[in-house]
A and B are shown apart, each in its own frame.
Chain A
Amino acid sequence: MTGPLLSVRDLRKVFNAQAGFGRPSAGVRAVDGISFDVEPGETLALVGESGCGKSTLGRLILQLIPASGGQVMFEGVDLVHLGTRPLREMRRRMQMVFQDPFGSLSPRRSVADIVAEPIDSFGLAPSRKARREMVADLLHQVGLPSSVMDRYPRQFSGGQRQRIGIARAIAAGPSFIVADEPVSALDVSVQAQVINLMQDLQESRGLTYLFIAHDLAVVRHIATRVAVMYLGRIVEIGPKARVYAAPHHPYTQALLSAAPNPDPDIPKRQIILTGDVPSPSNAPSGCAFHTRCPIAQARCRMEAPELRPVGGGHQAACHFATDHPIPVPS
């Protein structure tokens, strides 16, 4: 069967703010009707600023939090409507790498126990000896010597912990990994190690990544395709080269132009957005970006634009998307 590995359709998540006496308030639409596909072997990067819903989306896809509506088809199975037991079985095939290299490893468990967690959950090791060998092999794959097996997380640096987290994620042999800001908590000189490791593993194990990040330079390096999120929606999605060379949505343009470039000779042609990201609990009408958009018009306040193709598998959700592709300075 060929086709997308993952198909997300109209996925929604509404967080109900606690309003006393069991009466839910209006609710925060953290993820607001998102649809996209992920092809086997590719890296789809999800970028956006804090509060845009990208981490929530990653967790919804893995069903770590229940969806409020929509579909997540993974390897042909709709995860949203799956029972607890079959869903747990599916976790063998999809795993997660977390942002926080300190919090995501239990301080009371040895490296071997942490890495073997999926092995134990799915009973993949026939014996204790086989389990140790599997852990040693996994550690080796992430560039750690097997001698660290009986140590505890607190003895490791951020980068080493992130390697341990990656070893755990690949332990059950998944085809798909959601990586939630896996390098943003790491030092600059260690980021490259982890990025390279993730790329090596993708090649050697044929992994598919959903890579959640806010650093556009990291995304440019690792992604095959890029999806830009703003206030719970995807505003632009397309092949990396096209999105970076010719961003169609004014938000993408602003984001790219705001990202600092480590080169003093690049002229600053910044589009500086005014104002803050509106709170998702009080999202603007129409196009959610219209309050900060430099080209907003009356129509944008009334009518929410849908994603529409702008050529080459590239889509943007802007009423004026085709009218103003501005190339970023290169």
Chain B
Amino acid sequence: MTAAVEDRPLLRVDRLSVEFGGPAARLRVVDEVSFDIEAGETVGLVGESGSGKSITALSILRLVPEPPSHLAGGRVLLDGVDLTTLPRDQLPDIRGRDIAMIFQEPMSSLNPVQRIGDQVAEAILLHQKLDAASRRARVLDLLRLVGIPDPSRRIDAYPHQFSGGMRQRVMIAMALACNPRLLIADEPTTALDVTIQAQVLALLRDLKTEFGTAILLITHDLGVVAESCQRVVVMYAGRVVESGPVRAIFRNPSHPYTRALLQSIPRLDEERRRLHQIPGNVPPPGPLRAGCAFHTRCAERLLRCATDRPPMMQLGGGHQAACWLAGPMAQAPMAQAVTP
């Protein structure tokens, strides 16, 4: 039996760092980010603007233009294959076939002068050799699958004839064209209305149960995470501050940032007289920082928080938080995560 293979996650992001700018003004946008995605699970990557969540996701597929960005360290392992060292000409094989991506803005991701069906067919054409008739049949299948009503008529429509929600469905259909094992969804519902958001999220859930597609869901909306994800990775200022099973994160948030964030959002199900507010603003990207990235806004900071970067403290059950106060103080930090 191959225990090693079973241990291996579908995707492992291992201490990934991305920087922007030249040596004069180097901005660290993603700072030693690590997380795993198992086959068939939905992982939420949560953070505010400037947290580096989108750059992290784009870096997985090496879609961030270099320059101005460059990889400053770390690995991205898909089935054990390091994508960061893969020759550039092999990347298109990975994109679409193994990992597909959908974006926030379904308006601008579609070519306005090409028919919907042709755009979906193009995605199929990239990785599968099918004749025209079976390609059209496959496109119809996909459009039906993502819930586009009357697909045989809509297949010849143009993007402007579709609403935002319908366009996002088309994007999902294109992403699914080659049965990817991982779907990276970058704020897929942010531009959509609540009732349409509910439809798209339900569609993503169905796809996961039906095809076992793993999903990396990037969002700023904690409600979306709670509803759709099994595990959560919380990012702040380019770093992972906490990660773990969704219930652990929401029931027992162990990083002060996660805690403050959860307390600061108004709730649909309970009355709060006054919202907890996190003072200050999200720091703009800067050079590599010492200490904890959140210490300037943290209500519980210690002296060492300004100077020593907290390691990922293991809290059991896959729950971990990068805070000196997280978990029992005696607990030894995970050796590999200690900053050099």
Contact = CB atoms under 8 A, between A and B. Distances in A.
The yes or no verdict on A and B being binding partners is yes
A254 B260 CA distance: 30
Contact of A262 (B165, B223, B278): B223
A288 B225 CA distance: 32
Nearest to A260: B223
Given A262-B223, A264-B226, A264-B247, A221 B266 contact: yes
A276 interface: yes
Nearest to A218: B266
Nearest to B297: A189
A193 B277 CA distance: 5
B307 interface: no
Given A189-B282, A276-B165, A262 B226 contact: yes
A272 interface: yes
Interface of A: 49-50, 157, 159-160, 187-193, 195-196, 199, 214-218, 220-222, 244, 254-266, 268, 270, 272-277, 329-330
19 contacts: A160-B281, A189-B48, A189-B282, A191-B265, A192-B278, A214-B193, A217-B267, A218-B266, A220-B266, A221-B266, A258-B197, A259-B223, A259-B268, A260-B201, A260-B224, A261-B269, A272-B202, A277-B163, A277-B195
Contacts of A188: 48, 220, 222, 261, 264-265
Given A192-B265, A263-B226, A258 B194 contact: yes
B262 interface: yes
A272 B261 contact: no
A296 to B, nearest CB: 15
Contact of B198 (A214, A264, A272, A276): A272
Nearest to A219: B266
A49 B189 CA distance: 13
A188 B165 CA distance: 24
A272 B199 CA distance: 6
A263 B253 CA distance: 12
Contact of A263 (B49, B250, B278): B250
B88 interface: no
B194 A216 contact: yes
Contacts of B282: 157, 187, 189-190
B48 A270 contact: no
A192 B195 contact: no
Contacts of A215: 266
Given A160-B281, A189-B48, A193-B277, A261 B227 contact: yes
B48 A261 contact: no
Nearest to A157: B281
Contacts of B260: 189
Chain B, interface residues (CB within 8 Å), range: 35 or more
A264 B48 contact: no
A220 B268 contact: yes
B195 A49 contact: yes
Contact of A255 (B48, B194, B201, B223): B194
Interface string B34-51: 000000000000001100
Nearest to A275: B149
Interface string B149-189: 10000000000000101100000000000000000000000
B145 interface: no
B247 A221 contact: no
Contacts, number: 138
Contacts of A270: 198, 202
B120 to A, nearest CB: 19
Interface in B15-52: 48-49
Interface of B: 48-49, 149, 163, 165-166, 193-199, 201-202, 220-227, 246-247, 250-251, 260-262, 264-269, 271-272, 274-279, 281-282
A268 B202 CA distance: 11
A187 B220 contact: yes
Contact of A199 (B197, B199, B202, B274): B274
Nearest to B191: A50
6 closest Cβ contacts across the A-B interface? A260-B223, A221-B266, A258-B198, A49-B193, A192-B264, A192-B275
Given A187-B49, A259-B223, 6 more contacts: A188-B222, A257-B198, A262-B265, A264-B247, A268-B227, A273-B199
A262 B198 CA distance: 14
Contacts of A49: 193-196
Contacts of B193: 49-50, 214, 277
Nearest to B284: A157
Contacts of A272: 195, 198-199, 202
A116 B267 CA distance: 36
Nearest to B281: A157
A244 B271 CA distance: 11
Contacts of A329: 269
Contact of B268 (A50, A192, A261): A261
B166 to A, nearest CB: 7
A195 B275 contact: yes
A262 B267 contact: yes
A262 B195 contact: no
Contacts of B279: 193
A159 B281 CA distance: 8
A237 to B, nearest CB: 19
A266 B195 contact: no
Most chain A Cβ neighbours within 10 Å, of B193, B201, B251, B282:
B193
A261 B226 contact: yes
Contact of A189 (B227, B251, B261, B266): B261
Contacts of B226: 260-264, 266
Contact of B281 (A190, A261, A268): A190
Most chain A Cβ neighbours within 10 Å, of B202, B226, B272:
B226
Contacts of B227: 260-261, 264, 268
A262 B222 contact: yes
Contacts of B199: 272-274
